[in-house]
Structure 1
């Protein structure tokens, strides 16, 4: 087994409160952001094999910019936080891990509209012309998600 840093990219208007890939935690990701923080480490086999999958779990805040009330002293109380966080949702899915060659550089988790998730194992970052997942940054969020 080999460890790889975990990076997340959020291509939605919701905030990813937390996420994990095969139990290894990832950082909070604001809406339409990501890539800034890496955490260690996701674990995968040294050699990729057909059918390799990852379990992704995440919690999201669909209204991250909602104004949060403050009490008479200007504080955000537990009750106010509880009211806001009641709108959070929990998600879990299994995704395929794409083939990686000699080295596993990072596990990049892409959160796409309609609660779709993709994982990448590329050694490149989005600023590199060889980055294979550039199309994810062009995905547009629709008002409604179709049911498959």
Structure 2
């Protein structure tokens, strides 16, 4: 029994190159010099085993050319270290009134869940401000962000005990800035002052005159804002009464 053997491949001698990069051999065969780029391979005739090895190497080279290594992907997947994650906690809403007016209602609206309001706050008396019970709830975001502004709207009456004369009833609005507060908070407060002025704050136990409910805000407190009468809302309130 005889074995059939393939003849050994004859070496191919290049006789020249065409203008488009094609190489011409003596046996009439041609091959194109066609680079795939900095990460590509030249296509050429080769033995099957060598072709497989070169193909595997090419796949690895193309992977490297993608510009992203496994280390880069792992690093991108990791969260940024040292950045505090934002969260919003519910807090009660209360009011203080240092004026002689009655505050029938108030409401604040703002970003990051800071929306809420409270009910009637009585006039101040000789021993201290009028105070309203706590209502639930308002969102208190952590961490505090500078220049957080809220819109506050409130109804006040300068003749709260004259049920026939509502000429001093008015709805006022203002844009207020929330003073800085710490990580431990104890509710949101609206503070009404004589002359239709108002301040808001988040109580955090920092008795520095800015976030303390035990101390009346100073007249030069930068977070006190002058309210402005809203005529359309005032007329609506008068109709309700």
CA contact (8 A) 1:122 1:131 kept: no
2:130 counterpart (17, 34, 41): 34
In the alignment, structure 2 segments of 5+ residues that lack a partner are: 1-87, 110-114, 220-225, 227-241
In the alignment, structure 1 segments of 5+ residues that lack a partner are: 69-82, 140-144
Give the distance between the partners of 1:88 and 1:48, measured in 2 at CA. 35
1:103 CA drift (Å):
2.3
1:36 CA drift (Å):
4.4
Identify the residue that residue 182 of structure 2 maps to in structure 1. Answer: 101
TM alignment of 1:67-78, pairs within 5 A: 68=163
Give the distance between the partners of 1:131 and 1:98, measured in 2 at CA. 12
CA contact (8 A) 2:93 2:188 kept: yes
Normalising by the residue count of structure 2, what TM-score does the alignment of the two structures yield?
Answer: 0.45
1:27 CA drift (Å):
1.8
2:149 counterpart (53, 56, 71): 53
| Number of residues of Structure 1 aligned to a counterpart in Structure 2 | 120
Deviations 1:71-128 (A, max 9, x none): xxxxxxxxxxxx534531001111110111112321111101111111121234xxxx
1:4 counterpart (62, 83, 91): 91
1:87 counterpart (149, 154, 168): 168
Give the distance between the partners of 1:130 and 1:45, measured in 2 at CA. 20
1:131 CA drift (Å):
6.8
CA contact (8 A) 1:12 1:31 kept: yes
Normalising by the residue count of structure 1, what TM-score does the alignment of the two structures yield?
Answer: 0.70
Give the distance between the partners of 1:34 and 1:41, measured in 2 at CA. 20
Give the distance between the partners of 1:51 and 1:88, measured in 2 at CA. 31
CA contact (8 A) 1:21 1:42 kept: no
Q: What's the Cα RMSD here?
A: 2.4
Higher relative contact order structure (alpha carbons within 8 Å, sequence separation ≥ 6): 1
- Bigger proportion of residues as strand: 1
